[in-house]
Amino acid sequence: MAHFGVLFLDEIPEFDRASLEALRQVLESHEVAISRAAFSTHFPAHFQLVAACNPCPCGFYRSGQRDCACDAAAIARYRRRLSGPLLDRIDLRVGVSAVTWSDLAQRDPDGRSSREIRRGILAARAIQRRRGVRANAELPDSRLDDEVRATPEALQLLGRSVDRMALTARGARRILRVARSVADLAGEERVSAAAMAEALGYRRETAIG
């Protein structure tokens, strides 16, 4: 049902582990395979996965607003519900801090409007369509290096981070695609060290708790 749309999984650690692990192959092949004794069939499933989770079972770990009621073992079990191979297929991991009512009520006159952000995204998407894909996530691996056009400084930064962050080959290639998108949003032809650093920042483990 999420084909060519968004699959949003709220409280993703609460989903059945087998169901979450089944997503790994779907995210790679973009199809759901169903096999029964008498037949097998495939359904297209090319979607954008968006998920949310709390930092711990009670939701208040390091919130600064209320004491967390979870012990270390409970927090560790909660985090282990998301396997490394599944997390490796999630490109952007963004930690969101609790927001007070005063912050919600205060409007930032200097902030970018949704219309301005949309304009920038549409311009970046137009660049990606000229590459023959709907989005950089669809770039085939054989074309990735030529399309990314990373500067030597950007590649050096990625190389150092692969070892420091213990990135897999899949994870490193996904970072290249994210960095290409960051550069597209900035209107840059080549991926700079700054764009690479931003892409690497989205792989922080702390963003999932």
Q: Pick the range with the lowest mean pLDDT from 1-15, 87-101, 148-162.
A: 87-101
pLDDT interval class at 208 (50, 70, 90): low
pLDDT interval class at 38 (50, 70, 90): confident
128 belongs to a structural domain: yes
pLDDT, tens digit, 9 for 90 and up, residues 52-93: 999 999 988 888 778 899 999 999 999 999 999 999 999 999
pLDDT, tens digit, 9 for 90 and up, residues 5-27: 999 999 999 999 999 999 999 99
98 belongs to a structural domain: no
83 belongs to a structural domain: yes
Q: Give yes or no: residues 122 and 198 share one domain.
A: yes
Nearest residue to 130 (alpha-carbon basis) of 184, 173, 192, 196 = 184
State the chain's maximal CA–CA distance in angstroms.
62
Give the chain's domain count: 2
Residues of the domain holding 201? 114-208
What CATH number is given to the structural domain containing 28? 3.40.50.300
97 belongs to a structural domain: no
Q: Give yes or no: residues 137 and 200 share one domain.
A: yes
Nearest residue to 55 (alpha-carbon basis) of 97, 17, 91 = 97
Q: What is the pTM of this model?
A: 0.84
